[in-house]
């Protein structure tokens, strides 16, 4: 996870300015009809389009926005339909809230912020968290602040990922009277790994929860530095249990903190259960997928992204990450389950109900980055409850929600072998049969991108210098093409679902990286951080360290052909990709605001409304956009005061529909930072 943002930063230096100046000359010289041939545009990424069956969405779905993903299952669907494809161009800013959270912060802290929050709407307030974990309640119709709570997280240390908070959760105490203190609670995890409970009406800490309103989530070992261990995603709630995962800096060491998921009593803060995705119990069936006692010697497989809850079944769904370290697994032979898996747990006990692994024996940092979508798909006249998991590889897995068996077919395919000495690769990996990768999974020297012949040949030479056998090519000391690289494909923004059309909408990034394993020198001193500038990770405890670098041309443009950001619609009844469109332009990257529709790397996700609109920010230009859900056609965009690297939400309040997005940018990606929560609506 740590490297995702470092590598994307290489997309934004002065070199890209020179490259785009060259591109402008090429456009002027060649003309519009020729430029697409020069770019090597892939026809498979243009609109494919077909008619979609339209039915009625479940009546209870999309009412308000009570949870981080719209509902507990992460549909990211709003039943509000006042804003339509016909009037979306009339949208205007209804209100803006500024938190002021950046004021008075050190330059070091400000260089590591990302405003990724999605507010929730509960009763008569919008609740959200800032980059530094302040929780704020505002009026849904005006943005006027009602209260705020500052947990005063330390900012003098370096967070493993960023100073960020993606969301908060709400819980109503059914045993308390409506006027009782903390009868309704807001829960939030912090960058210093506390789980905090606040009174939803006042913002005051709930003193009966933990120690004065907070529980500290402790690692199982001492940390190298405080920011190695964080909470960045919203907790989830099953009944009277609140559940939280952790974000852990990866690739630092083999004997690393355990990625244990913790559940607490929502009233008292007492631990209800815990689940370690690396099975330490000898009686756990998953233990057999770890050679010898290797499960006792590694950490991670943590849940850093968002979880989902099926309240009717009492299940919580975990998207787990890879075991430590990411790029070598010779010390942990076998498939390494429950790492890189969708794991369904009993929410009251923490017991495993089922699990499905999307990557066996991960040595590519292909952890599950996004909230599993719990959606209902209509096929052959019947409704089917499924789990959809989008991935960094660009693959989309659709599973039966009760059993974890494939709803859309999946097969094991042979994958490249011949890793470094001591590696123990899986001979096969799971692939969906019906849905091809949303972003390409293979790139060659012949398809290298370049504005000029010189630029393209330089990229082609980079590809030829690397081992390149397609997806799951093993890391090597000579060099391996990682494509999609670990920041490519889907990310934490996840997907949205249109229940009336069976349509999953997902945004992904398209980029490649050069990966090298470096033999570790004996007696190398222990690291207390990971080098950002050199893209080097020591991976202590195994024979290799690792370097990784985004593949760019001498002019600073990615060596992969555009679009570099993609928005797609997938019919979940069949698995067909209905449409694909570029997402984002070069406007805020290029000199003079040159807005070329090449797409950009993107962080944040989409939301779908009942009227047939998709709203999304995410791209590296400062816009919120609206697309037609049936065709993917862009219908509207509005300028934001800062980068929109967050997932928007939508709701109806007092007869007026609003679309709200956090506009605060991502300092390490290079988008404009800020402290704005912006609401759009039709004129009154």
Residues annotated as part of the active site: 365
b/e map 112-132, b = 16+ CB within 10 Å: bbbbbbbbbbbeebbbbbbbb
Bond before 325 cis per omega within 30 degrees: yes
H/E segment holding residue 566 = strand 565-571
What torsion do the CA atoms of 385, 391, 393, 396 make, to the nearest 10 degrees?
Answer: 20
d(CA 136, CA 122) in angstroms, rounded, equals 13
Residue of 251, 202, 144, 160 whose CA lies nearest to 544: 251
Name the DSSP letter for residue 38: H
Both structure tokens of 3 = 């490297």
Residue 74, classed as helix, strand or coil, is coil
d(CA 249, CA 227) in angstroms, rounded, equals 8
What torsion do the CA atoms of 169, 172, 175, 177 make, to the nearest 10 degrees?
Answer: 130
Cα-atom radius of gyration of the chain, to the nearest Å?
23
- E strands, 150-217, are 169-172, 184-189, 194-199, 214-216
Both structure tokens of 199 = 């009174």
d(CA 489, CA 392) in angstroms, rounded, equals 4
d(CA 278, CA 296) in angstroms, rounded, equals 8
HEC profile for 331-391?
CCCCCCCCCCEEEEEECCCCCEEEEEECCCCCCCCCCCCCCCEEEEEEECCEEEEEEEEEC
Residue of 544, 645, 534, 654 whose CA lies nearest to 588: 645
Provide the β-strand partners of residue 258: 300
- DSSP letters, 426-437, are -SEEEEESSS--
Find out whether 24 and 683 touch, Cβ atoms under 8 Å. no
Residue of 637, 490, 476 whose CA lies nearest to 546: 476
Dihedral of CA 301/392/601/15: which sign? Answer: positive
Work out the burial of residue 319: count CB atoms within 10 Å of its CB; fewer than 13 is exposed, 13-18 middle, 19 or more buried: buried
What torsion do the CA atoms of 380, 386, 392, 394 make, to the nearest 10 degrees?
Answer: 0
Residue of 349, 350, 366, 348 whose CA lies nearest to 358: 366
Could you count the other beta carbons within 10 Å of the beta carbon of residue 308?
29
Find out whether 633 and 644 touch, Cβ atoms under 8 Å. no
Could you count the other beta carbons within 10 Å of the beta carbon of residue 282?
10
d(CA 619, CA 605) in angstroms, rounded, equals 10
- The order of strands in the sheet holding 184-189 is 169-172, 184-189, 194-199, 214-216
Dihedral of CA 650/654/656/660: which sign? Answer: negative
Name the DSSP letter for residue 475: P
């Amino acid at each position: 996870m740590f490297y995702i943002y470092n590598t994307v930063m290489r997309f934004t230096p002065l070199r890209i300015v020179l490259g785009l100046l060259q591109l402008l000359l090429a456009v002027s010289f060649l003309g519009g009809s020729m430029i697409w041939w020069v770019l090597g545009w892939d026809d498979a990424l243009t609109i494919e389009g077909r008619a979609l069956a339209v039915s009625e969405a479940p009546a209870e779905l999309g009412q308000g926005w009570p949870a981080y993903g719209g509902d507990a299952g992460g549909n990211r669907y709003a039943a509000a339909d006042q804003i339509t494809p016909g009037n979306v161009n009339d949208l205007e800013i209804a209100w803006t809230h500024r938190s002021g959270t950046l004021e008075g912060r050190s330059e070091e802290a400000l260089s590591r912020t990302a405003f990724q929050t999605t507010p929730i709407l509960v009763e008569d307030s919008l609740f959200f968290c800032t980059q530094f974990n302040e929780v704020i309640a505002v009026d849904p119709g005006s943005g006027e602040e009602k209260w705020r709570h500052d947990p005063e997280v330390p900012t003098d240390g370096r967070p493993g990922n960023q100073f960020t908070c993606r969301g908060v959760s709400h819980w109503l105490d059914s045993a308390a009277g409506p006027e009782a203190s903390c009868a309704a609670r807001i829960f939030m995890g912090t960058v210093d790994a506390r789980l905090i409970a606040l009174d939803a009406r006042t913002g005051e800490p709930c003193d009966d929860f933990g120690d004065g309103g907070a529980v500290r989530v402790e690692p199982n070992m001492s940390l190298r530095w405080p920011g190695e261990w964080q909470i960045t995603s919203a907790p989830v709630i099953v009944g009277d249990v609140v559940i939280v995962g952790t974000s852990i800096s990866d690739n630092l060491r083999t004997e690393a903190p355990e990625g244990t998921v913790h559940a607490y009593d929502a009233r008292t803060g007492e631990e209800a259960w815990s689940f370690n995705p690396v099975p330490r119990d000898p009686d756990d069936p998953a233990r057999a997928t770890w050679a010898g006692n290797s499960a006792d010697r590694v950490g991670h497989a943590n849940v850093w992204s968002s979880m989902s809850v099926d309240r009717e079944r009492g299940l919580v769904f975990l998207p787990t990450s890879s075991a430590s370290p990411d790029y070598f697994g010779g010390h942990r032979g076998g498939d390494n389950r429950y790492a890189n898996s969708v794991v369904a747990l009993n929410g009251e006990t923490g017991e495993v109900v089922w699990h499905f692994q999307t990557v066996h024996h991960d040595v590519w940092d292909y952890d599950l980055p996004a909230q599993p979508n719990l959606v209902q798909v209509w096929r052959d006249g019947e409704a089917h409850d499924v789990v959809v998991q989008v991935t960094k590889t660009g693959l989309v897995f659709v599973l039966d929600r009760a059993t974890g068996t494939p709803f859309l077919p999946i097969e094991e395919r042979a994958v490249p072998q011949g890793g470094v000495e001591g590696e123990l690769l899986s001979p096969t990996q799971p692939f969906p049969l019906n849905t091809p990768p949303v972003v390409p999974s293979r790139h060659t020297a012949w398809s290298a991108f370049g504005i000029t012949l010189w630029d393209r040949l330089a990229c082609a030479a980079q590809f030829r210098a690397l081992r390149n056998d397609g997806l799951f090519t093993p890391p090597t000391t000579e060099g391996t093409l990682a494509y999609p690289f670990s920041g490519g494909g889907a990310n934490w923004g996840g997907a949205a679902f249109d229940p009336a059309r069976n349509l999953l909408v997902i945004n992904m990034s398209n980029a490649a990286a050069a990966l090298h394993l470096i033999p570790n020198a004996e007696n190398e001193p222990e690291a207390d951080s990971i080098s950002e500038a050199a893209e080097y990770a020591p991976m202590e405890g195994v024979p290799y360290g690792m370097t990784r670098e985004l593949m760019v041309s001498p002019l600073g443009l990615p060596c992969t052909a555009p679009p570099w950001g993609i928005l797609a619609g997938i019919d979940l009844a069949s698995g067909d990709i209905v449409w694909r469109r570029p997402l984002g332009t070069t406007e805020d990257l290029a000199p003079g605001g040159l807005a070329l529709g090449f797409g950009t790397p993107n962080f944040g996700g989409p939301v779908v409304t009942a009227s047939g609109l998709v709203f999304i920010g995410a791209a590296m230009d400062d816009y919120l956009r609206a697309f037609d859900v049936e065709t993917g056609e862009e219908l509207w965009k509005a300028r934001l005061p800062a980068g929109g690297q967050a997932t928007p939400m939508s709701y109806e309040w007092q007869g007026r529909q609003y679309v709200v997005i956090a506009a605060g940018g991502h300092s390490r990606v290079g988008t404009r930072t800020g402290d704005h929560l912006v609401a759009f609506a039709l004129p009154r």
